[in-house]
Amino acid sequence: MSLDPMPHDAEPHDQGIAAKLNWLRAGVLGANDGIVSVAAVVVGVAGATTANGPILTAGAAAAVGGAISMALGEYVSVSSSADSQKALIEKERRELAEMPEEELAELTAIYAAKGLSGATAARVARELTEHDALKAHLDAELHMDEDEVLSPWHAAIASAIAFSVGAVLPFATAVFLPGPLKIPVTFVAVLLALAVTGALGARLGGAPMLRPTIRVLVGGAAALAVTFAIGSWLGVSGIV
């Protein structure tokens, strides 16, 4: 009988798959933020004036500032997570060097708790320790891989790019379309883009697509309506 692993559809056994899906979902969310944030700004300004100068200035500031803010926030967040991961790895490495027998017993107990017999658990723990002790303990105790420590720079760059990609559509429609078409076309384009990102995010997360898509559409439409109303009021009132 062959012992080669058999593939199963929709059952990815590569541990990197989950991390890749998380990156993709983060990218979709970043693009969604770029769409809503920049659209809300340009629609708000367009509600007060159809002149391209103020819309271009506000849209560019929102796009650049938002991308930098997303990158900075992601860098700080992921740096904290990466520091915690590195600290845990070093702690485990130190314990293996200082108390190998206790660590072997701990690993054996973990596998025994999963249902293996005492003898089998001891054998599995010993063989895994001989192969790669640190990897075995990180996986069994902390569900971590030393090679999968998060990169704050990668996260920051990915977030900035995703936000910028999302910002392109509302920025372009609000700036380059003629006056009467700016707001209605921007509304329609933004809602279509949000429908795509909402459905894609749900798909990547393995969830039904309808409800998350509706949530994203309702939230985006509300943001646009509120900022347009405020911009219109400011324009009519003569404040701006």
* pLDDT tens digits in sequence order for the chain, 240 residues long: 444 444 444 444 444 555 565 666 677 888 889 999 999 999 999 888 888 899 999 999 999 999 999 999 889 988 888 888 888 888 888 988 888 888 888 888 888 888 888 889 889 889 888 888 888 888 888 777 777 777 888 888 888 999 999 999 999 998 888 878 888 999 999 999 999 888 887 787 777 888 888 988 999 999 999 999 999 898 877 666
pTM of the complete model: 0.73
CB atoms within 10 A of CB 214: 12
Interaxial angle between packed helices 118-137 and 100-113, expressed in degrees from 0 to 180 and rounded to the nearest 10: 120
Contact 41, 227 (CB under 8 A): yes
Domain ranges of the chain: 17-237
CB atoms within 10 A of CB 124: 19
Pick left, alpha or beta for residue 200 (phi over 0 → left; psi -120 to 50 → alpha; otherwise beta).
alpha
Smallest CA-to-CA distance from 59 within 153, 159, 194, 190 is with 190
